[in-house]
Structure 1
Amino acid sequence: MNNFSIISSILDNDFYKFTMQNAVIKLFPSVKTRYELINRGNHFFPKNFANSIRENIDKMSNLKLSNEEKIYLKKYCTCLDSSYIDFLEKYRYNPKEVFISQKGGNIKIYIEGLWSRTILWEVPIMAIISELYYKLTNSNNISNIKIISSTKKKLNIYKKLKVRIGEYGTRRRFSYNVQKLVLKIIKKEKYPFFTGSSNVHFSHIFSRSPIGTQGHEWIMLHAAKYGLNIADRIAMENWLNIYQGELGIALSDTYTSSIFFKNFNKKLANAFKGVRHDSGDPVIFIKEVIKHYKKFNINPLKKIIVFSDNLNPKKISNITAFCKKKIIPFFGIGTNFTNDVGLSPMNIVIKMVSALFKKKWISVIKLSNVKEKSTGKKNMLILARKNIHYIK
């Protein structure tokens, strides 16, 4: 049994969870959802691992927004209105929404309840699983001195490239302390092109605005309600209505990029500041984005691509070279910052799998540009892949 709390602040979460929660409260307040843990890496968990997760989750019921954190949100997260911040101040995690079981080395986790509540569970639970896994399997990481040296080396590479970067590593971090150490190094090095962290708690600690916009589940829910072929468009339109042009990065691969571009019409292409790439060949995607913008007589050099798919210095260098004088790149670096400690990072995700509409549970899928990142029932994915080529 462990006697420490891995999650010690309600803000120890990714910013896009709060921005989506704000939108969900306004547009889908009565929708219920279900999420499940997907063990992509087939990790074997030690005995009583589920009990350790449960202990940490139960402790999260005590978390609440402090007055200091509330003041921070009002100052640094101006896209969140006062009614939402008041909601968050009253919000408490309910551990009864999380169901955990273990059989041998396998664990099962599912989360069920109002989407406006359950949306905050995913990232902290993944951070809990990751940190506990390394602690309870006696996986010793490299020393802080080596982490500092490695992070500085990466920053020097990025500095020479003059690339804008952000830190996106909460969900698969080696530990809370490693993530904090990496952000301390970035601050100390005064890296000129660092735009911030997606983690709101650490952004508060370091007095910066957090970064992030929306996740795949925002579009997945729209697909369950409106259909796969128009989900991207309606999700983007709803996002624009909520945020009036702020947080203007469109997510491009919930139902493959080909479907996204069919939905990304001239109005939306102009309204959004750019797009996010999270799966598939980045060079092919860059070419597709530029071609799409030019079709609408939009100058690609005034638009951004946010890259967030398993980045490292070599990938960033290659992507930067290809983007030069074509389009503006930005890089959201996750695991390579917060779990580059000489061990294999965990390969787990928690994804929405169904949504309740009119007393009927509707299966939810994600049809990524790459098969291994797709989620949902196999028969639904097969059907979607067959039909996707016929969507006009």
Structure 2
Amino acid sequence: MADIAARVWNHKWKIDPIVRSLIDTDFYKLLMCQSVFRQRPDTQVRFSLINRTTSVPLARLVDEGELREQLDHVRSLSLARGESTWMRGNTFYGKRQMFTPEFMDWFENLRLPPYQLETKGDQYELTFEGSWPEVMLWEIPALAILMELRSRAVLNDMGRFELQVLYARAMTKLWEKVERLRGLDGLRIADFGTRRRHSFLWQDWCVQAMHEGLGESFTGTSNCLIAKNRDLEAIGTNAHELPMVYAALAETDEGLARAPYDVLSDWHEEHDGNLRVILPDTYGTEGFLRHAPDWLAGWTGIRIDSGDPAAGAETAIRWWRERGEDPRRKLVIFSDGLDDDKIAELHHQFAGRVRVSFGWGTLLTNDFRGLTENDALAPFSLVCKAVSADGRPTVKLSDNPEKAMGPADEVARYKRVFDVGQQERRAVFV
């Protein structure tokens, strides 16, 4: 176990590249990448960094030279032999050879494509363009780099003992959360915190703490490199990116309305069991479930990632009952803005009614709130999204309009096509 404070003080991070492997990424990214490689390899996409917390002036906090150095380092990475062996030979979700030989041959020869970086006011404009399977793999490294460079900028002014105390307090804070969660009977929880982590070393420490503190209640981590190194389950399914790009490629309103289901039809061909989890909120959960084909009701579960999580789970339960399914046999994964108190509340509310699981993200791997002057290390909301596909803009509506994105005229069109009514605005914290 690394002495994180000593590493920060003694080396000022030079020994630790922020992203140290192409599999220092989330498992769902690799699963989706294989699906895209198979289904839509020639689609041209553009991804862009979006800082939702505009009060955090990244271009003033993070040195452009350091940012370029870290981005260039990622472009130098290739899959190591041991990493390839792990992907080719390991069992994921009970399935051997999750990744096909064709995909692995391509991935082993991959270098990430170029990036474009500009400064606009006090923010960075960071974009990636090219073929979808290649560009999509920039999302997680880009976010991890910006988040950690911001952390480094704050930590750089701290003294040796100040750093020791800071990390001791952060460790105590997390361990107290683990102790509170330990009392939840039947808890199932995983680390989903790669994208907005404080640092790689800190995420690795958090995963080890969860593993020791929660035992079998800790189901694994979304981070593939940590899963490999710590012999843990790699956890993840699919994300909003797939329906956003499929929808942008639709030629007509009818095709647009079908797009979210076309995504899951393709996924259905490739995966079964616990990988058949619906993410219904890209264009509104209510409308998605109302128009969903009957075969989707047979899927294993649903992930709730925006809006009121309890309301989302109740909607899913009603839908399963209407389709003749027993909700008690279904999986509900909560993954939006969770902390220990909300996890406990949702667990008590839904345990026994559905199979409850949690993907704990930013407030697991980046909760330094209240530990520095002016809360300089408080987490913030940073995303990297597909903004166009084959030259057409992408749109996300979400169950929370504060997370919506896309040109205003296209947002209006999508709301009409997907029959999105009044939505409740909820503050986006992380």
Matched, 1:51 2:65: yes
Q: 1:290 to 1:209 in 2, by over 3 A?
A: same
CA drift at 1:151? 2.2
CA drift at 1:189? 2.8
Give ranges in structure 2 of 5+ residues lacking alignment. Answer: 1-11, 370-376, 422-430
Secondary structure of the corresponding residue to residue 290 of structure 1: helix
The aligned residue for residue 47 of structure 2 is: 35
How many percent identity over aligned positions? 29
The aligned residue for residue 68 of structure 1 is: 82
In 2, Cα distance between equivalents of 1:71 and 1:390: 46
The aligned residue for residue 380 of structure 1 is: 410
In 1, Cα distance between equivalents of 2:20 and 2:190: 23
In 1, Cα distance between equivalents of 2:341 and 2:322: 31
In 2, Cα distance between equivalents of 1:67 and 1:387: 47
**Paired amino acid for 1:23:** S
The aligned residue for residue 264 of structure 1 is: 292
The aligned residue for residue 81 of structure 1 is: 100
Show the 5 A alignment for 1:35-184.
35-42=47-54, 43-45=56-58, 46=60, 49-73=63-87, 74-77=89-92, 78=96, 79-94=98-113, 96=114, 98-138=115-155, 143-162=166-185, 163-184=187-208
Matched, 1:363 2:393: yes
Matched, 1:13 2:25: yes
The aligned residue for residue 200 of structure 1 is: 224
Counterpart contact for 2:334–2:357, Cα < 8 Å: yes
Q: 1:263 to 1:137 in 2, by over 3 A?
A: same
**Paired amino acid for 1:225:** L
The aligned residue for residue 255 of structure 1 is: 283
CA drift at 1:245? 4.6
Q: 1:208 to 1:27 in 2, by over 3 A?
A: same
In 2, Cα distance between equivalents of 1:89 and 1:56: 21
**Paired amino acid for 2:170:** I
Counterpart contact for 2:47–2:136, Cα < 8 Å: no
Secondary structure of the corresponding residue to residue 344 of structure 1: coil
Moved more, 210-219 or 76-85: 76-85
Residues 108-129 of structure 1 deviation map (CA, whole Å, 9 limit, x = unaligned): 0111000010010001110000
Matched, 1:344 2:378: yes
In 2, Cα distance between equivalents of 1:86 and 1:202: 23
Moved more, 363-372 or 185-194: 185-194
In 2, Cα distance between equivalents of 1:69 and 1:220: 30
Q: 1:103 to 1:245 in 2, by over 3 A?
A: same
Moved more, 338-347 or 106-115: 338-347
**Paired amino acid for 2:106:** F
In 2, Cα distance between equivalents of 1:41 and 1:267: 39
CA drift at 1:63? 1.1
Secondary structure of the corresponding residue to residue 276 of structure 1: strand
- Find 1:187's aligned residue among 191, 208, 211: 211
Residues 307-338 of structure 1 deviation map (CA, whole Å, 9 limit, x = unaligned): 00000111111111211321111100011110
Secondary structure of the corresponding residue to residue 121 of structure 1: helix
The aligned residue for residue 354 of structure 1 is: 388
TM-score by length of 1: 0.93
**Paired amino acid for 1:75:** N
The aligned residue for residue 287 of structure 1 is: 314
In 1, Cα distance between equivalents of 2:420 and 2:147: 40
Counterpart contact for 1:47–1:104, Cα < 8 Å: no
Secondary structure of the corresponding residue to residue 192 of structure 1: helix
In 2, Cα distance between equivalents of 1:246 and 1:86: 26
In 1, Cα distance between equivalents of 2:206 and 2:353: 31
Counterpart contact for 1:76–1:209, Cα < 8 Å: no
TM-score by length of 2: 0.85
- Find 1:296's aligned residue among 309, 314, 323: 323
Secondary structure of the corresponding residue to residue 383 of structure 1: helix
CA drift at 1:87? 1.8
**Paired amino acid for 1:362:** R
**Paired amino acid for 2:103:** Y
Secondary structure of the corresponding residue to residue 48 of structure 2: strand
CA drift at 1:203? 0.4
In 2, Cα distance between equivalents of 1:2 and 1:209: 28
Aligned residues: 384
